[in-house]
Structures are given as structure tokens and as C-alpha cells.
Amino acid sequence: MPRFARHRLTAAATLLGLAANVQALDLSGLSKDVQPCDDFYAFVNGNWEAATELPASRARIGSFEQLRQSNDALLEKSLTELADKPSLQTTPGLKLIAAYFSSGMDEAAIEARGLTSITPLLNRIDGLQRREDLPALLALLNRSGIHAPLAFSVQPDRKDTRRNVLSLSQSGLGLPDRDDYFRNDERTRTVSAAYRLFAKTVLAASGRPATDAELDAVIAFETQLAEATRERAKLRDPNASYNPMSPAELAAAAPGVDWSAYLAVLTAGAKLPQRFIVGQPEFATRVAKLAADTPLPVWRQYLALRVLDAAAPRLPKAYATAAFEYRGKTITA
């Protein structure tokens, strides 16, 4: 099911109340000629490894991968049956799931709609002509689920779980990891080339063709973000990512952008919080500097790419295929 992320299908299955098939422990993979006290791994996995081939279409295989494939098949069968039989749609929630699944599987309708779902966002990006309008645009993108370059969420306060808190954290990179902007090994070069091809493909398909020089500028922009992005090892320290701030403190820590305009749009319809969590203050500082210094054409190209990247799996085939070639094949492999 190319149009859906697995977590959405899993959530749908949970709502449907699907029962798992319970199976007995499969002992056929054991290598009984190996003493478990000598080599327990070989004892448990020997026969399975000898008998199992890695499919050409897969980057890995194993019991968890087989479980995932089995779950995918079960989910597709159950959701297809629900969508095809209105008599099963006995609650508003089930009707919503059926409609959502059907809309994702109707590829003819997806092709006909084109970029309609994201056209308002792309138009706002294309219309960015004044630097002072950038903070409100970034907040609008955050509210629309586009985490570029900051990610926005509301979650329980880790040090006071009785209340929820607004959190801002680093995001906005097109390559899988911040280190991919600085390494020069063969894998990184392959992934970087695939990312450039993906970017060029979706931008051109949307009517925003980018020259090599323009793509270089976008990659250079993302590299500056990557420089201020914390490495994964540093993200393991929860206290280091817990930095309560007021709007005034954020403005002082990251000068160069109108944070009040950003927060006003981000929290529109709600009371502006006087305390929120900034996961990586140095990243916010870098974003503010880029907001002040980076030419607006680079911002427009970068933000359009981030919107297209986020939406690509649910867009017409040209976009979905480009996304799968990059994220589903190159990165996964």
C-alpha cells in the first residue's frame, strides 16, 4: 500500500479491533546439531539462516521483517473489506477510516487532484517577497505538519507531566542524518546524489525547475542547518534537550527573526504560552541567522522542496515514485 505510512495503518487496525493470529513457537529454525552452551546464536538461528534467502527487493529479512509483512497483508485485507462493505462501517470512526483508506488507494483520483492539497502552501511560499513575512510563513508550515526548519509539537512536560507544553526542536534536513552533509564515503555520495535527483525531479514536476546552481544553494543552506544540528549521541541526553524559555528569552537567544510573529501564527486560536521548551537553542540561533542572511529565492526553493518532500507519498505517481526511489530504496538499502 504505497499511499500510507505503516503507523497510520497500524492505528487504523487498532481502531478496528483486529485480533492477532496466535501461532506456536516455530522450532524448525533451530540447529540441533549445535550445542546451545557452545554457541547459542548458531543453535537458535543456524537452520533458519541456511534455509533463508534475502529477496532482491529487500534490504533485510528476519522474523520481525516477516511479522511486518504479515501485518501489512492483514491490514490491507481488513481495510479493503471495511472500505468495500458499508455494512461494516457501524461507527463514525469506522466510516472515517474507510473513507481515508479509499481516498489513499484511489490512484486515479490522486492523479486528477494533482497538487491541489498543497497548492495553498506552495502559493504562499512562491509569494514570499519580504523578509519580515518569513516567520509567519514558517509557523504556517509548522501548523500544516511541515517541519522546516523547526519542528513543532505539543506534548507532556517531561518535568511536570500534569500539563502539556509547546516544544520546538531541530529539523528540516533532506538527507537522512546531519553527518551525511559532511561525510565523503561511497554510501554518502550515493545518498547525496539520489537526494539531488529527487529534489530536481519533484521541483521540476511542480513547475519550479531548479538549476544545478540553485540546488547547490539549497544544499549549502541545509548544510548550514546541519552544522547546528546535534548529533544523535548528544540527543540521548534528555536534560540537554530540555530548555524552558519565555518568548523574550527565545528572542534574546536567537536574534534576527521576529519570534513574536512566528509564535502568534503558531498558537493562533490559543493563548500564547509564556513558557515553552526549546530542544536545541543553538539550532534556533542558526535558523534566526539564516532568516536574516539567506537570500529569499533560496528560502523559497528550500521550503517548496520541504513541502513536496513531506507530501510526495500521497501525491501523483511522479512524486510518489521519486520519493520511493530516494527514501524507500536508496536510503533503506
Q: Tell me the three cell numbers of residue 190.
A: 550515493
b vs e for 176-215, b when ≥16 Cβ sit within 10 Å of the residue's Cβ? Answer: ebbebbeeeeeebeebbebbbebbbbbbebbebebeeebb
| Radius of gyration of the chain measured on its C-alpha atoms | 23
Cell of 245: 524559555
Q: Which helix (H) or strand (E) holds 161?
A: strand 160-170
User: What is the predicted pLDDT for the residue at 1?
Assistant: 47
Coil, strand or helix: which one is 221? Answer: helix
CB contact set of 17 (below 8 Å; sequence gap of 6+) = none
**Is cis: bond before 149, omega within 30 of 0?**
yes
The full set of domain ranges for the chain reads: 6-105, 119-331
What is residue 25's predicted lDDT score, i.e. its pLDDT?
75
Strand 244-245 to strand 276-278: parallel, antiparallel, or no bridges (unpaired)?
antiparallel
Which grid cell is 258?
521576529
Query: CA-to-CA distance for 30 and 42, rounded, in angstroms?
Result: 8
26: exposed, middle or buried (Cβ count in 10 Å: 0-12, 13-18, 19+): exposed
Under DSSP, the state recorded for 131 is G
Residue 33 near residue 43, CB atoms below 8 Å: no
CB 152 within 8 A of CB 144: no
Fold of 119-331: Neutral endopeptidase; domain 2 (1.10.1380)
Residue 156: partners with Cβ closer than 8 Å, 6 or more residues away: 163, 164, 165
Angle between helices 186-205 and 212-227 (to 10 degrees): 120
- Structure pTM? 0.83
Residue 58 has a pLDDT of 74
Query: Within 13 Å and on the Cβ side, how many CA atoms surround 229?
Result: 25
List CB contacts of 163: < 8 A, sequence separation 6 or more: 156, 157
Q: What is the pLDDT of residue 318?
A: 96
CB-count exposure of residue 137 (10 Å: 0-12, 13-18, 19+): buried
Q: What are the pLDDT tens digits along the chain (333 aa)?
A: 445 454 555 555 555 554 445 566 778 888 889 999 999 999 998 898 888 888 877 777 887 888 888 999 999 999 999 999 999 999 999 999 999 999 999 999 999 999 999 999 999 999 999 999 999 999 999 999 999 999 999 999 999 999 999 999 999 999 999 999 999 999 999 999 999 999 999 999 999 999 999 999 999 999 999 999 999 999 999 999 999 999 999 999 999 899 999 999 999 988 888 899 999 999 999 999 999 999 999 999 999 999 999 999 999 999 999 999 999 889 986
Per-residue pLDDT, 113: 96
